[in-house]
Copies of this chain bind each other. A is one copy, B any other.
């Protein structure tokens, strides 16, 4: 099967009308009038951002999901995406079929269509890059900077699940004993959070309406929060007990309290942190509820960084953020 046949068989069914059936040399998109475009790119490499043995469909969904997560955090509605795929030696059509099925599922959930792409081979590991486009009403993109002193800090969903899930997944793949803390923990849910990001697209309208700044949590809550505060020329005062944890994450931390560091700096959460002026807080919470996305107020924008534990004492985080480079 040559490249045009591969494209027609596996990728063209995912394309919207703007993709021109993936039969032209470019996609053609008429931007929605009165809107700005929001553009983001994320690359994933096997062995670095995912395990080579992860299910192909989950890898594809993750590659799209991490980009959708960026769009969501910027308050953008998805318009379309382009995919670059470098296939490693020994790739099979079965792999491609599973990959595209996962991509299709994630694209349908995210209401986003494939616009175009490029498929090549590599002597190295599977490598994907997705560029996603979204739209916001003109002037409406939520920036990383813009938070002001005393703005409320919110985080969506729960934090730390994916980092704990990654630890469990690694033990599983390397046929090691699961860590001691995993004894009474629902491993499936945590691993699923690692494998399948859930981009918080439903939160985009609430962010546009109320947030002074926002970003997605991809490299760990602590580091990403610091990055957002730094961009705004401020710091965060966080009450650590307010950080939302899932039931399995709470169980893991109860078994090994030292896991808090991993949970808060480990990355791959794909939740959203945002700053909301106090006067907008009630409205933001109401809009988030309407959107069906849980949000928790974890602190406020402050002049000096404080992470406060339940006993009132300050807690330091040495590791800043999870970095792939």
Contact = CB atoms under 8 A, between A and B. Distances in A.
Contacts of A2: 323, 325
A231 interface: yes
Interface in A223-245: 227, 231
A50 to B, nearest CB: 12
Nearest to A24: B144
Nearest to A132: B26
Nearest to A214: B25
Interface string A133-151: 1100010010111000000
A324 interface: yes
Interface residues of A, number: 69
Interface in A1-47: 2-4, 6, 20, 23-31, 35-45, 47
A82 B138 CA distance: 21
Interface string A71-100: 101101000101111111000000000000
A83 to B, nearest CB: 7
B28 A120 contact: no
A47 B89 CA distance: 13
Given A40-B26, A83-B41, A123 B120 contact: no
Interface stretch (A111-119, A161-169, A283-291): A111-119
A116 B37 CA distance: 13
B324 A45 contact: no
A26 B71 CA distance: 8
A73 B25 CA distance: 9
A48 interface: yes
For the complex formed by this chain, how many copies does it contain in all? 2
Contacts of A36: 28-31
A124 interface: yes
A156 interface: no
Contacts of A325: 2-3, 6, 87, 119-121
Given A27-B37, A31-B37, A87-B325, 18 more contacts: A2-B323, A2-B325, A3-B323, A24-B145, A26-B38, A26-B39, A26-B141, A28-B36, A28-B37, A28-B38, A39-B82, A41-B131, A84-B84, A84-B131, A122-B127, A124-B124, A124-B127, A127-B127
23 contacts: A6-B325, A23-B145, A23-B231, A24-B144, A24-B231, A25-B215, A26-B38, A26-B76, A30-B37, A39-B116, A41-B82, A41-B83, A41-B118, A42-B118, A43-B86, A43-B120, A44-B120, A45-B86, A45-B124, A48-B120, A119-B325, A122-B125, A127-B127
